[in-house]
Structure 1
Amino acid sequence: MFSIQQIANIWVHFFNESLQNILSQEVSLVQLSQKLEQLVNQTGGEVLKAILEQADEAIYAASKPEHRYQVKAHRSRTLTTLWGEVTFTRTYYQDKTDSFYHYLSDEWLGLDKSTHIEPFCRARLVTRSADVSYRKSVALTPRRLSGKCLQPIRN
């Protein structure tokens, strides 16, 4: 996992290297765009992971004074996003008032516990599937998905 500072350094390096390559005529716009897409996919997932994990820590800090929840575990979850698969860790709590278990970060973000496709990615796939087949729509994601994963959404 990269820190936010490391990601910023990667982008500064990419910018400087790209500018140098353009000035020395070593890269075309197509090649530059391909490299940019790769970097966006790589760092987009890392940024999302960092945000989700920091949010989980902030939610823990916000809920701690209430003494309502007891931490039971820290578990990882993997979501398919437009930037590839993102695996992040979140906290599993037990509510002391009713003994139910919760992933507060999932609840605060409106993330359904049964989905493996991040909602923005799912929405983008559904939009694309209006113009092309399910199979072609899911082929646009970095992870291999079945075309059937969109059928319940569109119908």
Structure 2
Amino acid sequence: MKHLTTEWPLLKELEEQLVRTLQKVFAVLLAALLEEIDQQLAEARDKRRYQLKDKRPTTIQTLFGEVTFRRNYYYDRQTGNYTFLLDAELGFDGARSISPCLEETAVELAVECSSYRKAARTLESIVGYAVMSHEAIRQLVLEAPVSLHRPVSQRHGRVLFVEADGLFISRQGKGKRAKEEKILAVHEGWKRNGSKSG
């Protein structure tokens, strides 16, 4: 049997390289698609109402990385405001520089993870770079619609128990004060488990 002299990367390295390559291809394809849609909107617009001012570059963060493209900027003669028809047509706020899919994923991660920092780290591991800070995720959660809250089922108990306690933890280092870790449990009571009484 012949021995191969070439060194192949590990599967993990191959997978990571392929993901980064696919991210670059995605960015090019999405940018081209968005610019094509913008061009079609420019040709189909009401030219008496929307006056083309210029093309402006923008960069948005997506689940697949950063996408940079150029879009048309218009003056709306009817309202007196400036607008991007592409943003209105596709239902996103280009000024925020975050795709709606990334926003939704960030909010879902913030709800599922134990902290905003952990949600930011999870997003970073998915995308491959720090796409959003924990504070940006916090702001998205605060702005998120209340429909994300799930209805609570009918309560069965007549009494609600709230148990709270604190545990002081010594911190390493000279002059560092102990920190209190607060513990809270809320429940409606206990169910008997087994047949023993007593």
TM class by shorter chain equals: 0.7 to 0.9
Higher mean displacement: 130-139 or 53-62: 130-139
1:42 aligned to 2:29? no
Say whether the 8 Å CA contact 2:60–2:68 is kept in structure 1.
yes
1:125 aligned to 2:106? yes
What is the identity percentage for the equivalent residue pairs of Structure 1 and Structure 2?
A: 31
The corresponding residue for 1:150 is 137
Name the CA distance, whole Å, in 2 between partners of 1:58 and 1:80: 23
Say whether the 8 Å CA contact 1:84–1:143 is kept in structure 2.
no
Higher mean displacement: 50-59 or 27-36: 27-36
Say whether the 8 Å CA contact 1:85–1:143 is kept in structure 2.
no
CA RMSD of superposed structures (Å): 2.2
Displacement of 1:48 in angstroms is 1.4
The corresponding residue for 1:60 is 42
Say whether the 8 Å CA contact 1:68–1:96 is kept in structure 2.
yes
- Number of aligned pairs? 131
Higher-Rg structure is 2
Say whether the 8 Å CA contact 2:61–2:131 is kept in structure 1.
no
Structure 2 unaligned segments of length 5 or more: list them. Answer: 1-5, 143-198
Name the CA distance, whole Å, in 1 between partners of 2:74 and 2:63: 29
Name the CA distance, whole Å, in 1 between partners of 2:11 and 2:132: 30
Say whether the 8 Å CA contact 2:41–2:85 is kept in structure 1.
yes
Letter paired with 2:141: R
Higher mean displacement: 31-40 or 136-145: 136-145
Name the CA distance, whole Å, in 1 between partners of 2:38 and 2:132: 27
The corresponding residue for 1:96 is 77
Deviations for 1:13-61, whole angstroms, at most 9, x for unmatched residues? xxxxxxxxxxx99455333322221112111111111111111111101
Q: Which has the higher contact order (CA 8 A, sep 6+)?
A: 1
Name the CA distance, whole Å, in 1 between partners of 2:130 and 2:65: 6
Displacement of 1:112 in angstroms is 1.8
Name the CA distance, whole Å, in 2 between partners of 1:87 and 1:34: 22
Deviations for 1:63-121, whole angstroms, at most 9, x for unmatched residues? 15x53211111111111112222221111111223322111001111112541211111
TM-score, normalising length: structure 2: 0.58
Say whether the 8 Å CA contact 1:41–1:82 is kept in structure 2.
no
Match of 1:110 among 82, 91, 106: 91
Q: Which has the higher helix share?
A: 1
TM-score, normalising length: structure 1: 0.72
* SS of corresponding position for 2:96: coil
